[in-house]
Amino acid sequence: MENEEQHNTRDQNHKPQDLPQVLLLKPPPVLSVLGEHHFLSNKYQLLKAWESHLPLDQFLTTHADSIQAILCSGAAPVTDDLLHLLTSVRLVVTASAGTNHIDLEACRRRGISVTNAGTVFSDDGADAAVGLLIDVLRKITASDRYVRQGIWVNKGDYPLGSKLRGKRVGIVGLGGIGLEVAKRLEAFGCNVLYNSRQKKAFLDQYPFYSDVCELAANSDALIICCALTDQTRHMIDKEVFSALGKEGVIVNIGRGAIIDEKEMVQCLVHGEIAGAGLDVFGNEPDVPKELFELDNVVLSPHRAVFTPESFMALCELVVGNLEAFFSNRPLLSPVIDT
């Protein structure tokens, strides 16, 4: 059996041009970790489009016959036009849970497999979602500012927060993250309700609402965990906010565009909903400045799912999907498996 030293020597003896080619359009955050640990460089020729002096179209055309896989993130859309240039691509690996930046229909039509981050982010995303909800309800961040800015000394006690136990919490999107959110909320004594593409047959303990407005009307708080699609874009609109009501709170760790951000800002400014915990925004990194002045809003810079632990797990999953593809084994986290 080949020992590790022989294996490493064999990898090092590979000429770059002999290795399978993987395209990177922009540097995904995971790349720095992958590079540090040589997860990819010894096994694949990484074609970094942003380092080329050629225009992108020319760069892609030059390598069209040899690029077999694309490694991307949300910052680098994989469009039908792009895939039209890359005739040899058979795999798209995204380092994110969401796939809204990938033309999935074009991938299906062209017989291209797609993988995502799977359940790697479920625990950390759920922790952050519940943390944001607690922060908004109990006014933790706002009261921290109250103390730090010396206001407590002059104005006395800060207004009371709201109890979490007993709250009716509607989860929009009961996938991997949504399920973990539900488990945590149960432990806090909340009543969990949900909306999803379809009712989960194995979850009779949670009331299902096919209509988001109806879910909002029966909830004290909404937590958005679903993916961004054409169907979910601006799904949380004025009607949903009205149904949620003046005592309602919204938390979003999905994608910013799932919420009609302008309507949400107006509802928060005019007290039509009670508060919000937001990790994602419609035009990142730009955030509506009106939110900066509101003590009932907690803001986070799209980091809900990222911890050192989840980052390393993501690295292993990305490498595992590439290795499975090039070894003709089943993919680890397929979205489309051709």
Does 205 or 76 have the greater pLDDT score?
205
pLDDT, tens digit, for every residue of 248-299?
Answer: 999 999 999 999 999 999 999 999 999 999 999 999 999 999 999 999 999 9
Could you tell me if 224 and 244 are in contact, meaning their C-beta atoms sit under 8 angstroms apart? no
What CATH number should be reported for the domain holding residue 38?
Answer: 3.40.50.720
Examine the domain organization and report whether 263 and 211 are in the same domain: yes
Phi, psi (rounded to 5 degrees) for 91: -150, 135
Q: Looking at the predicted structure, is the pLDDT value of residue 124 above 90? A: yes
On whether residue 318 sits in a domain, the answer given is yes
Could you tell me if 60 and 268 are in contact, meaning their C-beta atoms sit under 8 angstroms apart? no
Q: Looking at the predicted structure, is the pLDDT value of residue 32 above 50? A: yes
Examine the domain organization and report whether 90 and 152 are in the same domain: no
Examine the domain organization and report whether 172 and 236 are in the same domain: yes
pLDDT reported for residue 6: 46
Amino acid letter, residue 43: K
Examine the domain organization and report whether 295 and 319 are in the same domain: no
Active-site residues: which are they? 255, 284, 302
Examine the domain organization and report whether 103 and 134 are in the same domain: no
CA distance 221 to 233: 20
Examine the domain organization and report whether 98 and 201 are in the same domain: no
Arithmetic mean of pLDDT over the chain = 91
Examine the domain organization and report whether 114 and 12 are in the same domain: yes
On whether residue 336 sits in a domain, the answer given is no
Percentage with pLDDT > 90 across the chain: 80
Domain count, the chain: 2
| pTM given for the model | 0.86
pLDDT reported for residue 39: 61
On whether residue 10 sits in a domain, the answer given is yes
CA distance 201 to 218: 21
pLDDT grade, residue 27 (50/70/90)?
Answer: confident
pLDDT reported for residue 63: 93
Entry field: residues in the chain: 338
On whether residue 224 sits in a domain, the answer given is yes
Examine the domain organization and report whether 282 and 145 are in the same domain: yes
Could you tell me if 90 and 321 are in contact, meaning their C-beta atoms sit under 8 angstroms apart? no
Kindly give the residue spans of alpha helices, DSSP state H, lying in the chain.
4-13, 30-36, 56-62, 80-85, 104-110, 122-138, 140-148, 151-155, 176-187, 212-217, 238-244, 261-269, 308-326
Task: Show the domain range for 163.
Answer: 122-299
On whether residue 30 sits in a domain, the answer given is yes
On whether residue 266 sits in a domain, the answer given is yes
Examine the domain organization and report whether 78 and 208 are in the same domain: no
pLDDT, tens digit, for every residue of 76-102?
Answer: 899 999 999 999 999 999 988 889 899
pLDDT reported for residue 73: 83
Examine the domain organization and report whether 109 and 169 are in the same domain: no
On whether residue 337 sits in a domain, the answer given is no
Examine the domain organization and report whether 203 and 327 are in the same domain: no
Examine the domain organization and report whether 40 and 171 are in the same domain: no
Could you tell me if 71 and 22 are in contact, meaning their C-beta atoms sit under 8 angstroms apart? yes
CA distance 11 to 198: 47
